[in-house]
Amino acid sequence: MEQTLFRILYFSRNCTEEIGDQQSGSLNQILSASRSNNKNVGVTGALMFNAGYFAQVLEGPKREIEKTFERIQRDPRHTDVVVLECSDIASRDFPEWSMARVEPQSEKELHVTGHALQSALEDSDNAGQDVLDLLRSLVVQND
């Protein structure tokens, strides 16, 4: 029986000035560090990077989520962190992923996800749910 699950979803702005492959390399680095950390502590989730913004969902035991979130807060590579949602959850949305990478694969997808993210954020009452749905659908697509 797993202890109470907790989820946090946040949105932040990339503040490195990297572009193209360099940026993709950094993202891989962030992901692999995050995956190795998360594996040991039962944290799963997804990270989306789109046009200078991050959206990340973390799910797992509350204490571990707190530690992981705090570590992420100290990362100088992003700023303007906004928590869209945080709450207890009954089950995980990303049980298979220590940290799924969600990245638009094409210009079209970039446009679509950017637009979806934008409208999700504009819908301030449901922003958390909308971004979460977006991440969920993209993980499935890119899988």
Partner 1 sequence: MSTSAEVLAAVEPLEGLQPFPETLTSAATRVAPLAVVPPPNSASASGSLFGPSPASTFSAIERARPDLAGCLVFDETFRVLYLSPSLSRVLEIGSSTRNERDVFEVLTPLMDDGETHTATPLRLWIEAAVGAPQDEQTPPLLLHFEPNRSLEAKIHQVGEAYWLLGLEELSAPREGQGDMFAVLYQDRLTGAANRALFEHKLDLALQRLNADPEGSVTVLFLDLDRFKAVNDTLGHAVGDSLLALVSERLRTGLRESDILARLGGDEFAVLLRDGVDEQRISEIATRLIDLVCRPYLVNGQVINVGASIGAARAPEDGRTRDQLLRSADLALYHSKSAGRGVFHFFAPPMEAKAQERRALELDLRKALVLRQFELHYQPQIDVENSTVTGLEALLRWRHPTRGILLPAEFLGFAEEIGLAVPIGNWVLKTACKDAMAVPASMTMAVNVSPGQFESADFSIAVAGALKNTGLPGCRLEIEVTEAILLRDGTNIRANLEALRGMDVRVAMDSFGTGLTSLSQVVNFPLNKIKIHRSLIGSTVNDPKSRAVLRAISALGESLGIATLAEGVESPEQLAHVRSQGCHSVQGFYYSQAVPAREIPAVLTALTVSTPRG
* Residue 26 structure tokens: 């950094």
- Structure tokens of 121? 């954020």
The distance of closest approach from Cβ of residue 69 to partner 1 in the complex, given in angstroms and rounded to an integer, is: 5
> Cβ distance 90 to 104 under 8 Å?
no
Nearest alpha carbon to residue 76 among 8, 26, 24: 26
CB 75 to partner 1: min, Å: 9
Site residues, partner 1 (CB under 8 A)? 6, 8, 10, 62, 65-66, 69-70, 73-74, 76, 79, 81-83, 86, 88
Question: Could you tell me the smallest distance in angstroms from the CB atom of residue 108 to partner 1?
Answer: 33
Instruction: Between 72 and 139, name the residue whose CB sits nearer to partner 1.
Output: 72
Q: Where are the alpha helices (DSSP H) in the chain?
A: 20-41, 62-73, 107-122, 127-142
Residue 74 vs 108, nearer CB to partner 1: 74
Nearer to partner 1, 18 or 66 (CB): 66
Return the number of the residue (25 or 33) whose C-beta is nearest partner 1: 33
Query: Residues 6 or more apart from 65 whose CB is under 8 A from it?
Result: 6, 7, 8, 43, 58, 59
